Every structure is written in C-alpha cells, then in structure tokens.
Amino acid sequence: MKTRQTLHLQASTTALPEVIAFIEAITSEQSLPRNISLKMQLAAEEVIAALTPGVNVEIGFSGRADRITLGVTCHPLGMDLSAFNLAWRPDLETDASGLGLAVASRWVDTFSLQTDESGRLRLQFSIDNVYDAAVPVPLAFPEFRFYRLVKPTTENIKHCGARLFHRAAGAGKPPRIYHPDRLATLLAAGHLFGTLAETESGEIAGACFCIPEGPKLLGGHGPFVFSSTERERMARDLACHTLERVARKPFSGVLATHYDADCFPAEYFIPAGRESRGSTIGHHHSPRAPAWHFPLSDDAGGLLHFHASAEDFIREAIAVQDLPRTLVDISGEHVAEDQKNPSVYSATLNRGEKMATLRLLMPGGDIEENTDAHLAFFRDEDISLCQVHLDLGRPADAALIPVLMNRQFTPCLLIPGGAEGDLMVLESMLQRSGGAA
Amino acid sequence: MKRHPAMLVPEFIRSIDPYIPSKPDHRLMRDYGIDTLHRLNNNENPLGPPPAAVAAITALEPRAMAIYPSGDAFDLRCHIAENLNLSPDQLICGNGANEIIQFVISAYCEPGDNIVTGDKTFAVYEWVAEFSGIEARLTPMKDHGFDPEAMLAFIDDRTKILFICNPNNPTGTYWSRETLVAFLEAVDGRAMVVVDEAYCEFVDQPDFPDAVTLLSDHPNLLIFRTFSKMYGLAGLRIGYLIGHRDTVFDVCRTRIVYSINSAAQAAAMAAFGDMAHIYRTRQLIGESKAYLAGELRRLGLPVIAGEGNFVIAGIPFNDQLAYRKLIHKGYMVRTMTSFRFPNHIRITLREKPVMAGLIRALEEILEDMRQRGIHRNSRQVTK
C-alpha cells in the first residue's frame, strides 16, 4: 500500500461527519477491515473534540507495508496533553475531558506524539497489518558448491523469511518480524533493502537486509547464513553487499542487532554501546548480543548534552565512534522549559514483544512521578523490557538521564545523529512484582 | 491527463540511488580549509599524458573547435589498428570505457537476459545492466580475484555477457593466459566474454595475457582499453573496444557516433604506443607500490597490492572517517564501501614524496586513535 491523502479542516463538532466520511473512504479504498476504520475514526474524533473550535487541523493517511497510520497535525489549543501519557488516569468527577484522547491513543497498536518547529503537534495513530498465514517449515538446506549475490525479490524474500521465521520461533523469539508475507510486503513497498545469497540450484543460502526504523536509522538484519559451510565468507559477502546497497540512501546509519553471531563480520562495524537486551535469532543463540553501528553519512559534528551520571558511557561511546562533538554538561541545571507544565512522554507499546519505548515529548515538573507511573503501568501490562530514547541534542532529554539511572535504567546505545542530535538508548528489564531488574 | 514527471520513471529505475561524484577540488579545499589537495582517489597517472599528447593538445586550434570531430574516430582507429596489426573495423572508440560498456550491453541484451560478473569489481558493468533492466549476476571473489568456476556455474540460456576486469579494479588480481583461455573454452561461445583491460599497460608479468591474440579463436571475445589510466587522458574521456570484425559490426548498431571530441582523438592518437611513457610510469608505480605497501604493513594495516596503479588498505575504522581525516591533511583517497570493501581505502600510487606524506598523515591518525582507544580491529579485515 502506498497511499497518502490529506484533509484540511477547522476543528468543530460540525466537521466530524466530513472526517468520518474521509476515513471511511480511505479505509474502504484500501480494503481495510472495519475495525481499523472505526479505531481511526475514534482517534480523529477525539482529537478534534479536544481542540478549541476553529483550530486548523490536517488529517492524513500514510500506508507502510506493515502498518497504516492516521496522522493528525494541529496546534494543541485546548488540548490536555497529559492525557497522552499512557500512565494518565483521569478523575472522572472533574477531569474527564482527556478520556477520549487517552482511549484513542491506547486502542491503536502504536501511538506517537511529536512537535514540529512551529509548535504544532503531530499525532500518529498506527494499526499494524496482521500477517498470520501459516508458514510451512522449510526443508533441510541442501548442499551447494557456489553462490551468488542477488537482490531480494518478493519470491526469494519469502523463502528467506520462512527460514528466519522458524529459526526465530525455534529460538523462542517472536517470529512476526520475519513473517514471509511481511518481508515481501515491505520489499514491494520499498522498505527493505539488502542482499541474498542464492546457490546454483536457486536455494536462498543467506540473507542480510535493512528496514527503516524511523526517518534516519536503518535496522540491520543479518547476515544470516542458512548453511553449515562457507558461513564466514558468505556472511562477509552479504554484509559488504548490503552496506554498499544502502550507502547512498538518505539514512544516517545501520544499527545491526539481529544477526548470526558466529559469523558476524564485526570488523566492518562500530560497537554502538553496551549490549542490547534485544537478542539475536542466530545460528548460535546469544541472549545478549552486542549492537553494531555502521555510519552511512559523514558526521560533521554537533552539540551533545550529557549528565554526569552517564558521562563515562557517553565519553567512551563518542571516543570509540570518534564523533566530533561539543560536549555540554547539564548536570545541576534546571533545563525544563516550564516546571509548572506536566511532562508528556510519547510511548510505543509492543505487547507482542513485551516491549515499551518512551520518548520525552515535553519536560515538566512532574517528570519523576510521570516516569514512575509509566513504569508501573508497563509492569501491569506485563511488559518486560522498557527502552527510553533520548535526543542528546536537546538539554531537556539529557536532564532525564539521572531520573532514569536512579530507576535502574542503564545506557546501552549511542547512535550518532550528527548535527541533528545523537540518540541515546537506555533500557531496563521490568519485573511484574515491582522494581526494575 | 497530466502526470508528474516522477510517474514516468520506470519502477526499476526508481529503486536506484544516484551516484554523487565528489565535489571539485577547489570546493573541497575551501570546505576542508586546506591549501593543498593530493588526489589519490581516481587512479590517475601522476606523470600526466605522454609528451606527444601534450604537444597535440597544445597545438589545438581554438577555431577548429567549431567543426564536428570524426564521428567514428576514423584516424585514431586506423592508427591503433596498424599498431596492433588489426583492421580498423575491429575497433570502436567511445567516450571513455563507460560508454563502450553501454554500447555492448545495448547490443546484446534485452529484458530477461542477464550478465555475469564478479561482485567486487568495476561497478559500471553492473550499473549499466541495471539501468538497462538487465539482471546482473554477481559471483563472489575468490582470493580477491574472479572465480571462473562460479561464473560458469551461473550461466544460463539468458546469459549474454560475462565481464572480467583484467587486472581487476580494485583488487589488482589478474587471470593468466591459461586461466583466460580455459574460461573461453568453457564458455564455448554461449555468451560474449568481455575482458576489460583498462589497467593492462601497468602489468609486467610474463603470464599476463594479451587478449588480442585470442580473438581469432574466440569471436565472442571483446576487449576494452582506455586512455584514462596509463596514457593520462582521463580528462578527455576516451577508450576503445577491440573484437572480431563481425562482432564489432554488431556493437556498431548501438554505438553513439560523434561522442568523442576532437581534442581527445588528437591526444589519444599522439599518446598511443608511447613505450617510453609506459616504462617511466611503470617504474614510478613499481617503486611507489613497493614503498607504500611496505609502509602500510609497517603500520599494521592489511594490504591488497596487485597489478595496477593503486593499492587497497584495510583500516581499523570506518572508511568515511578515514576519508575525512585524511582530506583534512590534504590527501583524498577512495572510500571503498562503494566497492563492497567497507573499512578499506584505495590509494592511487604517486611519487614517493606524496606517498611518504600520506603515510605520515595516516600514522598520525592511527596514533591519535590508538591513544584514544579507537584502534579496535582485532581481526584481519581483508580476507
């Protein structure tokens, strides 16, 4: 699906029929299930109803292979943003206005909230396409003498996906990301780049590919080698090809977290920090595999804000990656723009993988309570891994470091972003019975 | 109905990311704040063109530029043919070898066909095939060289051309006469075999084949050569193809005429066969290669130093970073991720003082990184 259509209007209850008709038309045109249409309608209605009448609103759809997203862009006049915190709990006697927003943002698979340069909010409500067709177990890999490097096609990526799907399942990992239909759809939509190794008999013997994770970063998958022979050589060829194939694409780098650990060509990559809790699904299972970064664009330098509580990690990361940075120590400074405002987190909840991701949307005086409330909520939801992504180009994000470190979060990655701000990832394993692990 | 221009681009073209060449030297020098820039990125001849070519260029009459050049480089073809004991009808000249690659693929391939080549070689074979909607079958290198068995294994009924770069850019490996003959016999006329000899004049090895001598037995053989490397005429863009007369006639069906300017034709004619220039260049390159390879190894860097006027070095950090650090010190090298050698740089061989300066710059960079704990590669990278 590669559709994008936009509706412009002014917030008003009288505009709701037009909004509903718009969403009905789009979802019908895309043959999307009725429940997706209804979820989108709810989201749009609640946003519009929460705004001061007359505020300009832009509503748009964008389709990616594995999800459809409703975007609503507006100035947040009249809107209680704290309702978007997943941990927000209204007092129904006095504070019910945000309830609809809260419900809408929780009912979808992914919700994100960002501000643009002019202070407008961009709310995104995404619903994942479900790939649930049965995946036949592939036959044992046949012997071969030669292989060649090929581009993925919708056919060969399905063969590759079937092997990866069952390897992931066999390793006790969620196999959904490698469902053959998902990979084929991502490829067809131009969201998967990479290389496969094909033997002289046409079997897919190995794979390495990248899938965009956000606007700047490519997620690296592989190399995976399905045979027991030629593993190192093939892994190196696959990695070299894939890095070349994405080298001219407009991404800052590739972050490799899923790969066959026994033959991963680490010499081409840069350690991106401590080990990630995300595990490989490789030939030799490694529950805590290192994450590796390969920069795709030259890093011209930029500001990096840090707090003393993570100084060692940050200094080591920028030294290892040789990042030209001007370091700004914000320890002891009050950087929240307005301590009276409530803080707002943008949260992504992936129940399938029992993982949550937090990004700071707005700093505020209640950040510690808000953080605790989110962690408690995640535990209640049986989330086992929580990651927080901080943009160290922003002082307010860096100020969050001690709050997180005090809650047993540990830094694991520093992904270079140059002048646009480096991304620091902290994570914590959550235990249902209380306290971060 | 009006359509956005982008809608007119075929789907397979939209997936291609454009290649962005490096900026001109004066812009790079301004951007990086440097007074001197040594170009070590494009395998240019530091001695420049042979003296006769310089004289031919100097003698060009500006008013003559109003006149179209010979549409098929007639005089130049006759001159080369006479020197190689061939017929002029066995040659086609082009605006650099890149244009000739296009002629050949256009002449032999149609949608559904494929070409077979190596995966770490001159990328233009693969690019032109892809631009033309032709599948490029890439076989992995073996010991940095083309693997004839693997190439043969992937020939099918739709294989039209096999491209071999001999010696190979960027690894400098080459097929001996014995290997090339065995390969041609195994192909047995099922597909065209292109031997790109862009760097052949640099090779001084007894078993290196003169492919021209194989033409009479193999009408499916085509040979590419260029004036850009040994003859120092890269700025004029001129190369040529040699083949069997009937084969060349077929390629002529898709050639672009009038694409080689008068200056290029005149300079190439004057340059061709200047053995003194070739010896001088070989002498310089040989000494430079021995020095540079030795120094790179002294620094602990893996080296691939085969035939040709270039050397590859593995570096213990990202090649873009190496590019940035070296250009700040006045040396522009080729980053090799684009050749599928991540964390490698290719260095054009030049005069020893330039190479010594590069080594000093590299040594400083490595020492700086070592002190900061960045010199982290523990594995041999150039396997």
Mean per-residue pLDDT for B112-137? Answer: 96
Mean per-residue pLDDT for B333-352? Answer: 96
CA distance linking residue A289 with residue B371, whole number of Å: 27
Is the pLDDT at B70 greater than 60? The verdict is yes
Q: Report the residue of A145, A147, A148 to disrupt the B interface, i.e. the one with the largest count of B CBs within 10 Å.
A: A148
Asked if A249 is an interface residue toward chain B (Cβ–Cβ < 8 A), one would say yes
Q: How far is CA B292 from CA A288, B284, B331, in A?
A: 42, 12, 14
Q: Specify which residues B92 forms β-bridges with.
A: B241
Query: Which pair of tokens denotes residue A288?
Result: 């805590």
Whose tokens are 């292109």? That residue is B194
Asked if A4 is an interface residue toward chain B (Cβ–Cβ < 8 A), one would say no
**Which residues from chain A sit within 8 angstroms of residue B20, using beta carbons?**
248
Report, as ranges of residue numbers, the positions in chain A whose pLDDT lies below 50: 1-3, 278-287, 434-437
Whether the Cβ atoms of residue A168 and residue A174 lie closer than 8 Å to each other: yes
CA distance linking residue A5 with residue A25, whole number of Å: 11
ipTM: 0.92
For chain B, give every domain's residue range: 20-48+276-371, 51-273
Q: Do B153 and A248 make contact, defined as CB atoms within 8 angstroms?
A: no
Give me the pLDDT at residue A283, please.
Answer: 35
Query: Which pair of tokens denotes residue B182?
Result: 């065995």
**Cα dihedral A156/A159/A162/A164 (nearest 10):** -70
Domains of chain A are 1-130 (3.30.565.10), 147-295 (3.40.630.30), 300-437 (3.40.630.30)
Q: Do B342 and A243 make contact, defined as CB atoms within 8 angstroms?
A: yes
Q: Do A149 and B140 make contact, defined as CB atoms within 8 angstroms?
A: yes
CA distance linking residue A150 with residue B226, whole number of Å: 30
CA distance linking residue A218 with residue A209, whole number of Å: 9
Query: Which pair of tokens denotes residue B333?
Result: 């090298």
Asked if A325 is an interface residue toward chain B (Cβ–Cβ < 8 A), one would say no
**Which residues, including other chains, have CB under 8 Å from residue A44's CB and lie 6 or more apart?**
A19, A20, A23, A59, A70, A72
Asked if B4 is an interface residue toward chain A (Cβ–Cβ < 8 A), one would say no
Task: Give pLDDT tens digits for A63-95.
Answer: 766 778 888 998 877 777 777 787 777 766 665
Chain A nearest CA to B253, separation (Å) = 31
Task: Give pLDDT tens digits for B15-28.
Answer: 888 888 888 999 88
Phi, psi of B376 (to 5 degrees): -110, -10
Q: Do B140 and A148 make contact, defined as CB atoms within 8 angstroms?
A: yes
Give me the pLDDT at residue A388, please.
Answer: 93
Chain B nearest CA to A417, separation (Å) = 15
Mean per-residue pLDDT for B78-97? Answer: 97
Task: Give pLDDT tens digits for B274-289.
Answer: 999 999 999 999 999 9
Whether the Cβ atoms of residue B196 and residue B367 lie closer than 8 Å to each other: no
Chain B nearest CA to A156, separation (Å) = 15
Spacing of C-alpha A280 from chain mean position:
17
Q: Do A268 and B19 make contact, defined as CB atoms within 8 angstroms?
A: no
Higher per-residue confidence, B264 vs A67: B264
Higher per-residue confidence, A420 vs B92: B92
Average pLDDT, chain B: 94
**Which residues, including other chains, have CB under 8 Å from residue A321's CB and lie 6 or more apart?**
A270, A272, A293, A295, A414, A416
CA distance linking residue B241 with residue B77, whole number of Å: 10
3-state secondary structure of A80: coil
Is the pLDDT at B383 greater than 50? The verdict is no
Q: Specify which residues A305 forms β-bridges with.
A: A328
Give me the pLDDT at residue B295, please.
Answer: 98
CA angle B269, B272, B274 (to 5 degrees): 130
**Which residues from chain A sit within 8 angstroms of residue B337, using beta carbons?**
243-244, 247
- Which of B154, B343, B369 is the closest to A148 by Cβ? B154
3-state secondary structure of A263: coil
Higher per-residue confidence, A433 vs B314: B314
Give me the pLDDT at residue B149, please.
Answer: 97
- Which of B119, B337, B379 is the closest to A237 by Cβ? B119
The structural architecture, per CATH, of the domain B20-48+276-371 is Alpha-Beta Complex (3.90)
Chain A nearest CA to B351, separation (Å) = 29
Chain B nearest CA to A197, separation (Å) = 10
Q: Which CATH class is domain B51-273?
A: alpha beta
**Which residues from chain B sit within 8 angstroms of residue A200, using beta carbons?**
153-154
Q: Do B20 and A146 make contact, defined as CB atoms within 8 angstroms?
A: no
**Which residues, including other chains, have CB under 8 Å from residue A155's CB and lie 6 or more apart?**
none
Whose tokens are 């130049």? That residue is B76
3-state secondary structure of B117: strand
